[in-house]
Amino acid sequence: MPLRSAPLPRMAGHLSFMRAQTKAICDVKSGDLAVLGVPFEDTSAPYAGQSLAPRALRETSVYFGWHANPQFSHPVDIEARQDISTDGLHERLCDLGDISLGSDGEIHEALQTATSQISSQGACAIILGGSDRLAKTVQRALPDFQTAQLGGRSGDGDDFCIAPLVGKSATSQQANVAAQLAAFAQWRDETRPLFVRFDLSVFETPLSVLCDRPRLGGCDLDTVLQWLGALGRHEVSAIMLTGLNPNRPGMGVVKVGQRLMVTALLAFIYARLGFAIDRASSYNSEGKLPI
Partner 1 sequence: MTAVITTFHPSLAQPGYRLFDGPLCDVADVGVGQIGVVGMPSDWTHSSRLGTRFGPESLRRATTLLQSARPQGVSFDPDTRHRSKPATDWLIDCGDAEITPQDVDATTQAIAAMTEGLAVAGAIPLALGGDHYNSFPACLGYSRGLAKRSSNTRFGYIQIDGHLDFSDRLGAWGSHNHATNARRISELPNLDVANMVWVGITGWVDGGDLALIEKQGGRIFSAGDVHDLGAAEVMRQALAHAMQGCDELYLSIDIDAMDAGYLPGTGSIVHSGITPRQYYDLLDGLAEAPLGGLDIVEVSPPLDPSERTEFLAAEMLFRILRRFRTRPVAEK
Q: Is 41 in the site for partner 1 (CB under 8 A)?
A: no
| Among residues 7, 46, 105, 287, the one that binds partner 1 under rule CB under 8 A | 7
Q: Is 206 in the site for partner 1 (CB under 8 A)?
A: yes
Minimum CB distance to partner 1 smaller for 29 or for 74: 74
How many CB atoms are closer than 10 A to CB 260? Answer: 22
Nearest to 92 by CA among 118, 57, 56: 118
Q: Is 259 in the site for partner 1 (CB under 8 A)?
A: yes
What is the enclosing helix (H) or strand (E) of 163? strand 160-163
Q: Is 79 in the site for partner 1 (CB under 8 A)?
A: yes
Least distance CB 75 / partner 1 (angstroms): 4
Please give the Cα distance from 159 to 150 (Å, whole number).
10
Q: Is 182 in the site for partner 1 (CB under 8 A)?
A: no
Least distance CB 262 / partner 1 (angstroms): 10
Least distance CB 221 / partner 1 (angstroms): 5
Name residues whose C-beta falls within 8 Å of residue 231's C-beta, 6 or more positions apart in sequence.
148, 194, 196, 239, 268, 271
Nearest to 118 by CA among 95, 102, 91: 95
Are 243 and 199 contacting, i.e. CB atoms less than 8 angstroms apart?
yes
Whether omega for the bond prior to residue 250 falls within 30 degrees of 0, making it cis, is no
| Among residues 4, 27, 29, 72, the one that binds partner 1 under rule CB under 8 A | 72
**One symbol per residue from 111 to 150: x for binding partner 1 (CB under 8 A), - otherwise; what is it?**
----------------------------------------
**Segment interacting with partner 1, rule: CB under 8 A, options 3-11, 103-111, 158-166, 187-195:** 3-11
Total residues interacting with partner 1, rule: CB under 8 A:
39
Q: What does the DSSP assignment read for 12-46?
A: SS---GGGPEE--GGG--TT-EEEEEE----TTSS
Q: What is the DSSP letter of 81?
A: T
| Among residues 4, 29, 74, 233, the one that binds partner 1 under rule CB under 8 A | 74
Minimum CB distance to partner 1 smaller for 182 or for 254: 254
One-letter amino acid identity for 172?
A: S
213-242 positions binding partner 1, by CB under 8 A: 220-222
Strand partners, 203: 219
Are 116 and 34 contacting, i.e. CB atoms less than 8 angstroms apart?
no
46-65 positions binding partner 1, by CB under 8 A: 64
- Name the residues that contact partner 1, by CB under 8 A: 6-11, 64, 66, 69, 71-79, 83-84, 206-209, 220-222, 250-251, 253-256, 259-260, 263, 282, 285-286
